[in-house]
Chain A
Amino acid sequence: MITELLITLAKILFIIGVTVGFFAPILTWVERKQSAIMQDRIGANRADILGFTALGLFHAIADALKMFTKEDFIPEGANKILHTLSPIIAVIPAILTFAVVPFGGVYNLFGREVNLVISDLDVGLLFVFAIASIATYGYVIAGWSSNNNWSLLGSMRTASQMISYEVTMGLTIIGVLMVYGSMRLTEIGAIQEDFSRWGIFLQPLGFLMFLTAAIAENKRIPFDNPEAESEIVAGYFTEYSGLKFGMFFMSEFIEMVTISAIVTILFFGAWHIPFLTTATLLSWFEILGTTGANLLVMLIHVGVFFAKVIFFIWMQMTIRWTLPRFRYDQIMKLGWKILLPLSLTNVLVTGIVILMLH
């Protein structure tokens, strides 16, 4: 019992360390640096410690320090409690989603089965959606409580965009669930050990639609109408400063990692390397003993998983710096009139194909 708890705790600390401690600060740097490289600029490289700039990596530290020491500003007429509460409501779901995301398979370490997921829930994928639906409140309340016209416009846009794409996001992965017959993310990952059963081959349309809906749900460019700087200043977080402002960004970046992880698990073979089953890998390192081989394979799998995640983060960044922002009615049209009927059709077509094959 105690060992189980300790293992769970270690996994939680690892995940929180990776998301909050590594990805969230690093992605602020990546976003600037990648856009700079893409647009033939040098980009962030001014912050230095003793003249040493480390490619501008210290900007992440400088940003964090600056945000901590900024004034916590609450405008007049704003609801103080809700204004303070909303960034908390926005961040918690972003972190909590990772509780069901597996980052490796099951390994036999020191005579004990270690499953590299914090909570192996039976309703894993639904848990992700449930948590995502709670995240809406953080943004809506943020705009509403600020007593600012821009914020209110932003929060109305956020609310209708997020709820529209929540439905679509749910319906686009029905096809995947039909193919794999499970909602448990660990099971879906384990099935994809077989390269021919990767989700991208079985559900290419589902992948495209899910990625679109997920980016829209995360409110990133090209779907960043809720925070459109050039239209409504910064939308729902116009009146936020300091770390409260940073927390909205943090949740956006963590959600980006979440999306990449879910896409990897559902469509790109999770932690598996194509054509290399876990058994093959284990047989290669047989000399190291059971625990040693398992440990090595575990490290390889976690590395592969995060490499895939990083690839999808890179892809989202590329999309963000390539495509212009959609108009508001275009976003709603895409969600309700194109993705929704298309995903229903996808469900029917998948059903027919599966029935024919059986």
Chain B
Amino acid sequence: MLDQYTGVAIMLLMAIGIAGGMVLMTSILGPKKRFADKMEPFECGESQLVSPRQRFSVKFYLVAVLFVLFDIEAVFFFPWAILFKRLGVFGFVEMLLFILILGVGLMYVWRRGGLDWE
């Protein structure tokens, strides 16, 4: 059972090697010319007016919370889906309840404008 992960492990090491080697190569091979104007962050030729280190709108946070919740929901679906034919009607009713309860949640979020972007 364990040896099925051997390939993943070797592949991971190789991917790290490729990616790390690329970054190393580009930092070694490229020229280095530093001067003040060049090192400024790009803002279409102007100096930076506002620092990007500012607080952001909370609606991005709401998306993240909803994502976590729906991701957990989706994870429940996976084992259910592959067992569906074995569980039969019982499993279907079970999942119907689950979907309905979460559908209520989705509708609530929808109606409260949690999914709206202006």
Q: Does A associate with B in a complex? A: yes
A126 on the interface (CB 8 Å rule)? yes
- Cβ A68 vs Cβ B56 within 8 A: no
Q: Which residues of B contact A328 (CB under 8 A)?
A: 117
Interface size on A, residues (CB 8 A): 85
Q: A131 CB to closest chain B CB, in angstroms?
A: 10
Known: A72-B26, A95-B15. A337 touches B110 (CB 8 A): yes
Q: B111 CB to closest chain A CB, in angstroms?
A: 12
Known: A8-B10, A96-B12, A354-B84. A233 touches B44 (CB 8 A): yes
Known: A12-B11, A333-B115. A68 touches B41 (CB 8 A): no
Interface string of B6-28 (1 = CB under 8 A from A): 11101110111011101101110
Interface string of A69-102 (1 = CB under 8 A from B): 1111101111000001001100110011011100
A239 on the interface (CB 8 Å rule)? yes
Known: A170-B74, A181-B82, A351-B92. A16 touches B117 (CB 8 A): no
Question: Which residues 33-57 of B sit at the A interface, judged by CB distance below 8 A?
Answer: 33, 38-44, 48, 50-53, 56
Q: Which residues of B contact A238 (CB under 8 A)?
A: 42
Q: Which residues of A contact B116 (CB under 8 A)?
A: 329
A48 vs B5: C-alpha distance when bound (angstroms): 44
Which of A87, A88, A99, A156 touches B56 (beta carbons < 8 Å)?
A156
Known: A69-B30, A118-B11, A149-B52. A166 touches B99 (CB 8 A): no
Known: A70-B26, A72-B27, A147-B52. A91 touches B42 (CB 8 A): no
Q: A211 CB to closest chain B CB, in angstroms?
A: 18
Total contacts A-B at CB 8 Å: 209
A243 vs B74: C-alpha distance when bound (angstroms): 37
Q: B109 CB to closest chain A CB, in angstroms?
A: 9
Q: Which residues of A contact B99 (CB under 8 A)?
A: 344, 347-348
Prevailing SS type, chain A contact patch: helix
Q: Which residues of B contact A348 (CB under 8 A)?
A: 96, 99
Which of B15, B41, B74, B96 touches A167 (beta carbons < 8 Å)?
B74
- Cβ A243 vs Cβ B52 within 8 A: no
Q: Which residues of A contact B88 (CB under 8 A)?
A: 355, 358
Known: A148-B43, A344-B99, A351-B95. A174 touches B70 (CB 8 A): no
Which of A75, A178, A332 touches B41 (beta carbons < 8 Å)?
A75
Q: List the 7 closest pairs (A to B, CB-CB), nearest first.
A: A243-B26, A329-B117, A118-B7, A177-B81, A119-B7, A170-B74, A163-B67
